[in-house]
């Protein structure tokens, strides 16, 4: 019992520190704090993905894929959406340098995995930069992060107590349909309350509710995607950097798909004339 309590305390403390760092950096929008934090996440994510896949000889080229992801992030930092597009094109060219390897066996596989790694990490963090660029970028980032954490917590609690129907038994046996429903509903209600009473992200209430649901669903997809990679590698966690939680990607898996999903959702609202001025 004492060991379990100690483990719970470590997990809680590391989780609070992790959340505090992200909230502090995100609150100021796309400033140097946020871009440095995201750059460190890219570097750590490349390292963990490399370790996950190298055991089976199917690893991406870590230096090139990491450089490609950082180019996407830096391009976004300087030129916004245009810079993200240019960075993505540059990432493909950078990863094409894998052909200079002396051993060409599996060259196509290595190239494809390297490009995917660059896009997965670069586009996910790039979208997080884009969300923070507007006048209400800080509150919008905090609301999105809160939606992720609310959905994850609600899904875990409800799934543990009331879960009866497994959602993805082969990938994550503990995830349930009941937990998913609870996560979506609580994320939607939570971000609506945050926007209405505490934070001003300049989004009408009904669209904020949908935003919470988008975050919960995209976050779940990101979680399951990384779970599939871990299953294939035969590992429980992506690493051990965060005590009680595992590796960086164990905490960033939902984030990396939720950020692009939220950005595309808000851009769609703007193009439809339902929202204005929130994204620059």
Ramachandran region, residue 247 (left: φ > 0; alpha: ψ -120 to 50; beta: rest):
beta
Q: 167: helix, coil or strand?
A: strand
Which of 94, 64, 62, 79 has the alpha carbon at shortest distance from 126?
79
The predicted pLDDT at position 120 comes to 97
Q: At what angle do helices 137-162 and 248-271 cross, to 10 degrees?
A: 120
What share of the chain has pLDDT > 70, as a percent? 92
Q: Which two tokens stand for residue 92?
A: 């493909």
Least confident of 33-37, 72-76, 201-205, 250-254: 201-205
The predicted pLDDT at position 154 comes to 94
Q: Which residue has the higher pLDDT, 3 or 207?
A: 207
Give the model confidence (pLDDT) of 120-177 as tens digits.
Answer: 999 999 999 999 988 888 999 999 999 999 999 999 999 989 888 999 888 888 899 9
Give the model confidence (pLDDT) of 3-16 as tens digits.
Answer: 555 666 777 788 88
Give 70's pLDDT tier (boundaries 50, 70, 90): very high
Looking at the DSSP assignment, which residues form a beta bridge with residue 168?
Answer: 172
CA 179 vs CA 11, 153, 154, 184, 251: distances in Å: 21, 9, 7, 9, 18
Residues contacting residue 201 through CB under 8 Å, at least 6 positions apart: 136, 139, 140, 143, 195, 208, 278
For residues 149 and 182, give the distance between their C-alpha atoms in angstroms, rounded to a whole number.
Answer: 13
Cα 135 from chain centre: 22
For residues 189 and 213, give the distance between their C-alpha atoms in angstroms, rounded to a whole number.
Answer: 9
CA 159 vs CA 35, 152, 165, 166, 278: distances in Å: 35, 10, 9, 9, 35
The predicted pLDDT at position 174 comes to 86
Residues contacting residue 189 through CB under 8 Å, at least 6 positions apart: 209, 212
pTM of the model: 0.92
Least confident of 47-51, 103-107, 117-121: 103-107
């Amino acid at each position: 019992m004492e060991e379990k309590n100690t483990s719970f305390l470590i997990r809680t403390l590391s989780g609070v520190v992790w959340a505090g760092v992200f909230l502090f950096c995100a609150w100021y929008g796309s400033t140097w704090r946020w871009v440095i934090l995201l750059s460190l996440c890219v570097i750590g994510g490349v390292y963990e993905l490399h370790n996950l896949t190298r055991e089976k000889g199917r690893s991406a080229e870590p230096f090139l894929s990491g450089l490609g992801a950082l180019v996407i992030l830096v391009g976004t930092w300087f030129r916004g959406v245009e810079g993200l597009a240019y960075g993505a094109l540059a990432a493909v060219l950078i990863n094409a340098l894998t052909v200079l390897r002396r051993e060409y066996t599996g060259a196509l596989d290595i190239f494809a995995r390297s490009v995917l790694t660059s896009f997965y990490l670069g586009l996910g963090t790039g979208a997080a930069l884009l969300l923070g660029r507007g006048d209400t970028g800080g509150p919008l980032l905090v609301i999105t992060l809160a939606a992720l954490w609310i959905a994850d917590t609600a899904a875990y609690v409800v799934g543990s107590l009331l879960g009866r129907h497994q959602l993805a038994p082969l990938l994550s046996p503990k995830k349930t349909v009941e937990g998913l429903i609870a996560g979506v509903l609580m994320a939607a209600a939570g971000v609506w309350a945050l926007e209405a009473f505490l934070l001003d992200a300049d989004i009408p209430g009904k669209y904020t509710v949908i935003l919470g649901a988008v975050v919960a669903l995209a976050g779940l997809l990101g979680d399951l995607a990384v779970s599939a990679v871990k299953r294939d590698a035969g590992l429980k966690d992506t690493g051990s950097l965060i005590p009680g939680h595992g590796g960086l990607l164990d905490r960033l898996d939902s984030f990396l798909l939720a950020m692009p999903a939220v950005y595309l959702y808000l851009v769609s609202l703007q193009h439809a004339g339902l929202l204005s001025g929130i994204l620059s």
